Copies of this chain bind each other. A is one copy, B any other.
Amino acid sequence: MTGKKYVYLFEEGRADMRDLLGGKGAGLAEMTNLGLPVPPGFTITTEACREYNARNREFPPGLEQQVQEALQTLEKKTGKVFGDKKNPLLVSVRSGAAISMPGMMDTVLNLGLNDETVEALAAATGDRRFALDCYRRFIQMFSDIVLGIENSRFEEILERYKKQKGIQYDYQLDVETLQKIIDDYKKVVKEVTGEDFPQDPKVQLNRAIRAVFDSWNNPRAVVYRKAHQIPDDLGTAVNVQMMVFGNMGEDSGTGVAFTRNPATGEKVLYGEYLMNAQGEDVVAGIRTPHPISKMKEDLPETYKEFERVCSLLEKHYRDMQDVEFTIERGKLYMLQTRTAKRTASAAVKVAVDMVKEGLITKEEAITRVEPTQLTQLLHRRIDPSAKLEVIAKGLPASPGAASGAVVFDADEAERRGKSGEKVILVRPETTPDDIHGIFAAQGVLTSRGGMTSHAAVVARGIGKPCVCGCEALRIDLENKSFTVEGIVVKEGDLISIDGSTGQVILGAVPLIEPEFSEDFRLILEWADEVRKLGVRANADTPQDAQRARSFGAEGIGLCRTEHMFMAQDRLPIVQEMILAETPEERRQALDKLLPMQQGDFYEILKVMDGLPVTIRLLDPPLHEFLPNTEELALEITTMRLTSGDPTEISRKEAILKKARALAEFNPMLGHRGCRLGITTPEIYRMQVEAIVGAVVQLLKEGYHPKPEIMIPVVMDARELEILRELCLEVIREFEQKSGFQLDIPVGTMIELPRACLTADEIAKVADFFSFGTNDLTQTTFGFSRDDAEGKFIPQYLEKKILKENPFAVLDRDGVGKLVKMAVELGRSSNPNLKLGICGEHGGEPHSIEFCHLAGLDYVSCSPFRIPVARLAAAQAAVRHR
């Protein structure tokens, strides 16, 4: 062998060689070395794929030679010979990246068949029908994947013959018909490519390897990687493996299974298989398969062996596995094992159970649950007291309930979804081409396919409700409707689905909020034991605060007060305050707002009794409380031209004048936050009076309110110094009036680069910093979220200028640098400084990891993200011990 090693026999690999061999290759290697029944084969490395891409779709030198050598070893091991007319070796050629991308890339089965070897196969197996079926499948698959011929060309032929013969399933086709089909298939190939179907198995293999390499960059794989944040430069491995046949009759079959229930986590073998079929029949969901438990009856010996293998794999990998297998004439072959994907509740239950079984430690358990997945557990379910008009029942493929308008294709789902409409995507089955529709829909309903069908896997992955294999549905794509039990449901009609029970319900139904399972509570309790970061919530209402507290929030990190100003009954008073001509008029309006604000704070502080509540004083510029100038100007012009009421016109003109005076070119960078506090101190004073008034009221009632006053948009210590003094003045006044000693910290949002750069000065007059990473991201990048997300960020992600949307995932290179600087400078001048984050990043695991590393004291996020944050904080603590 010369140069780099690109090809590994299965026995040369190991589980930890996943990056090089891909997940499938590493699994096959590990199973081979464990002595499990794996058909022999070899893996071409991901590195070979990378070099192939780097060389502009040229095989790297040495690769072909190494494949030949591995093939010879395979021939020796199996006693079969590639292309042999007596005992031909047939292989599968499968993709397998380091990170699983189910169904995204290509596979070719039965490779090695040609007009001669098919006869040998017929002779060797004594089953001509089987051999022809394999050849028929091979031509179809190879043509689709390698030659790029539309699969529908072949499906049409197949359907035509099935109709002719009046049969339903492929395996019912007889020898003569199969031979005709093969002939017709070959004609299609000749017609489309201008060449005969390739007969040389080595040519077949070479081209199949190229096709698998190429499939790394097919559009659906690219979309999938973007959605799952998988780097584009990993490449895929290629697994070449001796074929075993699940389509050799009624003692043969193929299936996929989980070592535990991937929806619930229950410890029971879970999966499906099809007798007399090849692998793609199961995954494609064309025939509805049997549950794995039925194998126990059909093939009890094989089932026992399968149980043994699964148990061994779980112990070996110390995690739940997702396996593929084929039974050839009663003998079990393992074709894949990998860590199983699972719903959030399954992940939680499996992790907790495995701790109880002694398989893993508590800390390992914490790392076994993907934090963002947890929000699934917070999904709605159907109110049990509701009267439901259940019209069908399918497989409960992804938990949670949803209601929406029925749509029948993915593009329409995306269109309506984007415009804010709630839709349920209804399909006979889904394919990778439907992904964008699934993302846009509230839930998915299919009439075919099982728990491991495409729709089910994808929906579980993104936490959307899904009901699969609901065969009672008769879907008419042409007329955009489905019929079930005589009921016709048309596009746009409302239905509901319950992905936990499989129910399909007519109309929208009342949904209720979820509760935590005991396992859920337990794993979060373990997370709380190890995490270093506190977790608070962003909440502006008593309801939000209550929910946050029930999810385990240890306080409120951001209570915005502008929404209180926006309330319908208050906006007129707020406008009165803004339009005031004199300080007295302004004070009068503020006096009306004061008791309302005090009421707001009273309720929130009461709900959060004993826990800190960080209240941010008014943040937006005042013009946000006035009507849009363009609309108002149009209204006035229209009124004038249509002889409207002159007093009304002049009233509106006054408002327009003020709105114009306050209008800003760049409101984000305008007269807002503490700048308002400096120039119009009456507003902040009123707010502080409301806070402190509420505190005194609660103290009198025996509560323990713990507010913290937060000044927004600070860029210089002096701003904070002035406004802190204003706060302390009010606090002192109330102390004297009430006799209570009030300990109310005053701190600031750190949300501007200059605040980070001068954090040492600011920290001298701050009790706490809370990083407002939304605004800090905007100013650091110099683009506003409103303007960037819809316009150029998508292109920036596509062109890889941005790895992530920085408003979703905290940018460590820029924003993170500033945060770290602020933490260091701040602590250097004020060792008691409390540090938190209250941007939306506070609920995003990557960003939470950053916060842990930066040494913050807490993160604050939306109430539904609290469990995510608790778990992510714990994982960060475990990872960076």
Interface residue A857 (Cβ < 8 Å from any Cβ of B):
no
Interface string of A786-797 (1 = CB under 8 A from B): 111001100110
Beta-carbon contact of B796 and A678 below 8 Å: yes
A679 at the interface (CB under 8 A from B): yes
A758 touches B715 (CB 8 A): no
A818 touches B669 (CB 8 A): no
| Cross-interface CB contact of A795 among B667, B678, B818, cutoff 8 Å | B678
Known: A667-B666, A758-B814. A678 touches B784 (CB 8 A): no
A714 nearest CB neighbor, chain B only: B782
Minimum C-beta distance from A756 to chain B (A): 9
Cα-based distance from A815 to B671 in the complex (angstroms): 20
Is the C-beta of A498 less than 8 angstroms from some C-beta in chain B?
no
A665: B residues at CB distance < 8 A? 667-668, 784, 786-787
CB pair B630 A782 closer than 8 Å: no
Whether A787 contacts B818 in the complex (CB less than 8 A), given A753-B780, A782-B715, A792-B678, comes out as no
Contact of A782 among B751, B781, B795, B814 (CB under 8 A): B751
Q: Is A817 an interface residue (CB 8 A)?
A: yes
Does chain B have a CB within 8 A of A637?
yes
A201 shortest CB reach to chain B, Å: 44
Say how far A684's CB is from chain B's closest CB, in angstroms.
14
Q: A678, B799: Cβ atoms under 8 Å?
A: yes
**For residue A786, which residues in chain B have a CB less than 8 angstroms away from its CB?**
664-666
B754 touches A718 (CB 8 A): no
Q: Which residues of B contact A780 (CB under 8 A)?
A: 752-754, 757, 779
Residue of B nearest to A663 (CB): B787
Q: Determine whether A800 belongs to the interface, using a CB cutoff of 8 Å to chain B.
A: yes
Does chain B have a CB within 8 A of A642? yes
Q: Quick check: is A478 within 8 A (CB to CB) of the other chain?
A: no
Smallest CB–CB gap between A854 and chain B, Å? 15
Which chain B residue shows the least CB distance to A676?
B792
Within A621-654, which residues are at the interface with B (CB < 8 Å)? 629-630, 633-634, 637-638, 641-642
Taking the closest CB of chain B, its distance from the CB of A591, in whole angstroms, is 24
Question: A716 near B: Cβ within 8 Å?
Answer: yes
Of A637, A722, A795, the most chain B CB neighbours within 10 A belong to A637
CB of B671 within 8 A of CB of A792, answer yes
A814→B754 contact, CB < 8 A:
yes
| Identity of the chain B residue whose Cβ is nearest the Cβ of A777 in the assembled complex | B754
CA distance A634 to B757 in the complex (A): 45
Contact B814–A715 (Cβ < 8 Å):
yes
Query: Separation in Å of the A108 CB from the closest CB of chain B?
Result: 37
Asked if B713 and A782 make an inter-chain contact with CB atoms under 8 angstroms apart, the answer reads yes
Q: Which residues of B contact A667 (CB under 8 A)?
A: 665-666, 787
Kindly state whether residue A171 has any CB partner on chain B within 8 Å: no
User: Would A679 and B795 be within 8 Å (CB), given that A758-B814, A801-B718 are in contact?
Assistant: yes
Given A718-B800, A795-B678, residue A787 in contact with residue B671 (CB < 8 A) = yes
Q: A630-B630, A633-B634, A779-B780 are in contact. List 9 more A-B contacts (CB 8 A).
A: A665-B668, A665-B786, A666-B666, A666-B784, A669-B779, A670-B791, A753-B753, A754-B782, A758-B813
Residues on A close to B: CB < 8 A? 629-630, 633-634, 637-638, 641-642, 664-671, 675, 678-679, 713, 715-716, 718-719, 722, 751-754, 757-758, 761, 775, 778-784, 786-788, 791-792, 795-796, 799-802, 811, 813-815, 817-818
A-B contact pairs, 26 of them (CB 8 A): A633-B634, A637-B637, A638-B641, A664-B786, A664-B787, A666-B787, A667-B787, A668-B782, A669-B669, A669-B782, A669-B787, A670-B791, A671-B787, A675-B792, A678-B792, A678-B799, A713-B782, A715-B781, A716-B802, A752-B780, A753-B779, A753-B780, A753-B814, A753-B818, A754-B813, A757-B817
